[in-house]
Structure 1
């Protein structure tokens, strides 16, 4: 065998090695892309305790919705990644394809259902009003006529408050901001979802505020997906049914609300 032949063999082997390495790199990159694509991006307004809130110590998002969406992802065999954003930006982000789904204590309404698909209801709520502890004049929603009301922008609470005669509505990006405005005396009442109001009262120890009157509405929360993504919506409904059947949903409910879910 001549030196020229040996050189050609060595060169051929070198080129083959490069080719195989390139293929391996492409396959690894492709695998990484597929893995990333399988992670579901979940939009949520993470300032709505006890449904979603950021833990001050761990910086992780916790709450009823957060536990539920993780359990749903596990049941579907797909990891989830929560992205925090303002409530009024959730549906636009879903429509734009920036996220795959929304779980954010979002009430199922006909108006929203025109833009997105909703899962089966996973929580029953309603609107209530919060006033300062020393306020003994506001006892029902009827008493809010002409009063100053704090609400969270884009919510059903904001929609209903705007229907109250001569009321002066102040909209805030988050529920905590609305409660702070009440504490500061900038508004007479806060209109928001009952479980959120109850959580705020519990955290405040009942010193600063109180819930008055009967709930104004009865509302169902749903998980929103894009209109074109019916497959994901079907998977969510199937997984939700399975979590209710295997008892996992009840465990999460009891953890955050201290009682069993209504039948």
Structure 2
């Protein structure tokens, strides 16, 4: 084996290692395109925008990684992380004990809960007990669907939809009597497309926290947590929050 060949081999290995390292710094990130205003398609540009998308961009900048973003139905996100098809996901993902057993979560970055949405003229529903026997729309794979199954004695009329737009369309058309889903999403719909035609009712159920989900054993967990902490400390998080939701609770 000649010295020249060894040098060539060494250079090739170095280039291969550099390419691998560069590839490792480009993370495959998944989101659900229908969870407004956290993530949604900008019809004018074809780009994904929203609260989560701004959080992701800032976390990536501070952590030092690039990312390739893909969209999928919410119920496919956790399995994609499990199988290693994606490295990270932001989609208003509630941190639960069951999910923590199969993926890693960042520290919480958003406090949420579940809420009932009905048509504006509905006077019959004011709490979860009023949904017994009613036709209720929710989202496949969501904690809201799990909550309904656990808390309704009659849940045969609960319909899980693949996307939030589907369940809102069902509500507006009268196919379901109510929607039960994440509070910020139903609130945003009620104040935009559903304004004057829908309303939120009842208390906030099952206080929840959203986290950035990563595949188990991800080397980026500490960097992501440090980025989130820095964003909260220097006011960046508050600016992003108020861009999408208005005044941040506790900021005044």
Name the counterpart of 2:202.
Answer: 213
1:200 aligns with 2:168: no
Whether 1:81 and 2:60 are equivalent positions in the alignment is: no
Distance (Å, rounded) in 2 between the aligned partners of 1:114 and 1:262: 32
Higher mean C-alpha displacement, 130-139 vs 24-33: 24-33
The whole-number CA distance in structure 2 between the counterparts of 1:74 and 1:140 is 43
Q: Do 1:130 and 1:212's aligned partners in 2 also have CA atoms closer than 8 Å? A: yes
**How far apart, in 2, do the equivalents of 1:142 and 1:29 lie?**
61
User: Which one of 92, 97, 117 corresponds to residue 79 of structure 2?
Assistant: 92
Partner of 1:4: none
Look up the SS of the partner of 2:53 in the other structure: helix
- After TM superposition, give the deviation of residue 226 of structure 1 in Å: 1.7
Max Rg structure: 1
Deviation of 1:80 (Å): 2.1
CA contact (8 A) 2:86 2:215 kept: no
Once residues 221 and 19 of structure 2 are traced to their aligned partners in structure 1, the CA distance between those partners, rounded to angstroms, is 25
CA distance in 1: counterparts of 2:36 and 2:213, whole angstroms: 19
Aligned residue number for residue 8 of structure 1? none
SS at match of 1:99: coil
CA contact (8 A) 1:87 1:154 kept: yes
Show the counterpart of 1:243: 231
**Contact 2:111–2:207 at 8 Å: present in 1 too?**
yes
CA contact (8 A) 2:115 2:202 kept: yes
1:34 and 1:261 map into 2 onto residues whose CA distance is 41
Tell me, yes or no, if structure 1 residue 56 matches structure 2 residue 43.
yes
CA contact (8 A) 2:161 2:167 kept: yes
Match of 2:110 among 98, 123, 127: 123
Write out aligned runs for 1:1-263 (5 A).
Answer: 34-162=21-149, 163-167=151-155, 168-204=157-193, 206-229=195-218, 231-262=219-250
Answer whether contact 2:135 2:158 (CA < 8 A) is retained.
Answer: yes
Q: 1:32 to 1:58 in 2, by over 3 A?
A: farther
Q: Secondary structure at the match of 1:214?
A: strand
Superposed CA offset, 1:124-152 (max 9, x none): 00100001111111111111111111010
How many positions carry a matched residue from both structures?
244
1:23 Cα deviation (Å)? 9.8
- Which blocks of at least 5 consecutive residues in structure 1 are unaligned? 1-15
In 2, the alpha carbon distance for the partners of 1:261 and 1:149 equals 30
Q: Is the 8 A contact 1:149 1:161 kept in 2?
A: no
Deviations 1:176-208 (A, max 9, x none): 111001111111100011110111011125222
| Stretch deviating more after TM superposition (131-140 or 26-35) | 26-35
Q: Is the 8 A contact 2:25 2:64 kept in 1?
A: no
Q: How many Å apart are 1:260 and its aligned residue?
A: 2.1
Q: CA RMSD in A?
A: 2.1
In structure 2, stretches of 5+ residues that fail to align are none
